[in-house]
Amino acid sequence: MRRLAFSPLMGGILVYQQLRALIEQGAIASTPAIARAQIQPSSLDLRLATRGYRVRSGFLPEHCRVSDRLDEMTLYTFDLTDGAVLEKGHCYIVPLLERIEKPLPYLVRANPKSSTGRLDLFTRLLADKCGRFETVPPGYTGPLFLEIVPRSFPVRVRTGLSLCQIRFSEGESQLTDAELKAEYERSPLLFDDTGSPISVDKVRFDGGLCMGVAMRKDRDLQGPVGYVAKRYAGIVDTAIEAGHDARTYFEPIHETAEGRMIVEPEEFYIFASKERVRVPRHLAAEMAAYDVGIGELRTNYAGFFDNGFGGTTGTRAVLEVRPHDVPFLVEDGQVFFKLAFFKTLADPEVVYGDKALSSHYQGQGLKLSKHFRV
């Protein structure tokens, strides 16, 4: 179907060819140079540099440079060139290879990559004299840094590894619920397990597109309905794909007769969405923060969906879940998260799932990170 027409004056997110132009103009720079594979349909992967800092605690450099704060907070430094192990529960700051060289009129926002969230790696982007995590204001020039805290497993990382991605936006890019509903009415965004569209009258719009969690098997969810991380597992080497036996890192969670279970505080779970979602090529999406009014848990460690995610009949979203404070009952189909959708400034030349990109999670069911074999 024909896409909705949005006015350029309304703002939007930069896409593949526009990001490539910024790099070619030297606005975003790196040594070694930024690789074409880092450019996604509407985001840019950032890479770890050569040195890491084990710090006493995280910090927000609102009134100082990150390097100045590191001078007083660092316990020790280490080299990442040949790889280094980050210990579970410790806090690290790693400079990134990429930096913003020229002032740009765009707001920069960051998210962990999908594999980062599924490894239970807590990451946040930092910039000099910036009072918010994961956000860099328009006009900023300078280095970028990443705070990393492994929560479930020790991990081996090395120079050049991408753990986060950034996107550039101008103006008001998020669709209102009215705009999102109109988009849905023209071409559905949610599908059931048979690939059939879910009618708009069965969809909830509330600051985004509300979606549920799957706790029962269906046509393409035939094994476990979830996983919970083991407490005392070995090192995950991020350079090795499909090289770790999932059974030594996760316990499978199987369907119950009631289609529900209690999740426990501070344990790490991976579930799949009940519905399958499609992100049109002229839009991107972000998993919005869980509403604490309906539960005290975090569901969006990695929450950005590039243009084209889900193809034509939708793909499950995978949820990285950590409850807080109290045990929490989770039921099949329960609203668990919502997706905010964003306009992009153009249709990207490539979309998620294209052969030109490394799209590990297109068409996924319930899937652990690319590092595990089940």
Q: What is the 3-state secondary structure (H, E, C) of the chain?
A: CCCCCCCHHHCEECCHHHHHHHHHCCCEECCCCCCHHHECCCCEEEEECCEEEEECCCCCCCCCCHHHHHHHHEEEEEECCCCEEECCCCEEEEEEEEEECCCCCCEEEEEECHHHHHCCEEEEEEECCCCCCCEECCCCCEEEEEEEEECCCCEEECCCCEEEEEEEEECCCECCHHHHHHHHHHCCCEECCCCCECCHHHCCECCCEEEEECCCCECCECCCCEEEECCCCCCEECCCCCCEEHHHCEEEECCCCCCEEEECCCCCEEEEEEEEECCCCCEEEEEECCCHHHCCEECECCCEECCCCCCCCCEEEEEEEEECCCCEEEECCCEEEEEEEEEECCCCCCCCCCCCCCCCCCCCCCCCCCCEEC
Residues 186 and 204 in one domain: yes
Residues 194 and 238 in one domain: yes
- Cα of first residue to Cα of last residue in the chain, in angstroms, is 38
Question: For residue 99, is it within any domain?
Answer: yes
Question: For residue 16, is it within any domain?
Answer: yes
CA distances for 315 relative to 37, 272, 273, 363, 370, angstroms: 23, 10, 9, 5, 16
Phi, psi of 156 (to 5 degrees): -100, 125
Which residue, of 170, 205, 231, is where some domain finishes? Answer: 170
pLDDT score for 126 = 97
Which residue, of 135, 170, 205, is where some domain finishes? Answer: 170
Residues 33 and 143 in one domain: yes
Question: For residue 1, is it within any domain?
Answer: no
Domain extent, residue 78, equals 12-170
Tens of pLDDT, residue by residue over 9-60, are 469 999 999 999 999 999 999 999 999 999 999 999 999 999 999 999 999 9
Residues 160 and 299 in one domain: no
Strand partners, 253: 226
pLDDT score for 86 = 98
Torsional class of 78: left (φ above 0), alpha (ψ -120 to 50), beta (otherwise): beta
> Could you tell me the CATH number of the domain that includes residue 324?
2.70.40.10
Answer whether the bond into residue 32 is a cis peptide, omega within 30°.
yes
Residues 144 and 248 in one domain: no
Question: For residue 7, is it within any domain?
Answer: no
pLDDT score for 325 = 83
The span from the CA of 3 to the CA of 340, in Å, is: 18
Residues 163 and 188 in one domain: no
Q: Which residues of the chain have pLDDT under 50?
A: 1-9
Place of tokens 């492994």: 150
The span from the CA of 174 to the CA of 208, in Å, is: 9
The span from the CA of 260 to the CA of 332, in Å, is: 6
Residues 251 and 320 in one domain: yes
| Pairing relationship of beta strands 162-170 and 91-100 according to DSSP bridges | unpaired
Residues 216 and 315 in one domain: yes
Token digits for 313?
Answer: 């009949």
Question: For residue 6, is it within any domain?
Answer: no
Residues 297 and 318 in one domain: yes
Which residue, of 154, 170, 186, is where some domain finishes? Answer: 170
pLDDT score for 3 = 40
Residues 166 and 181 in one domain: no
Question: For residue 2, is it within any domain?
Answer: no
Question: For residue 280, is it within any domain?
Answer: yes
Domain count, the chain: 2
pLDDT score for 362 = 53
Place of tokens 């279970």: 261
Token digits for 351?
Answer: 């979309």
Residues 132 and 245 in one domain: no
The span from the CA of 304 to the CA of 285, in Å, is: 6
Residues 165 and 190 in one domain: no
Question: For residue 38, is it within any domain?
Answer: yes
Answer whether 317's CB lies under 8 Å from 209's CB. Answer: no
pLDDT score for 1 = 32
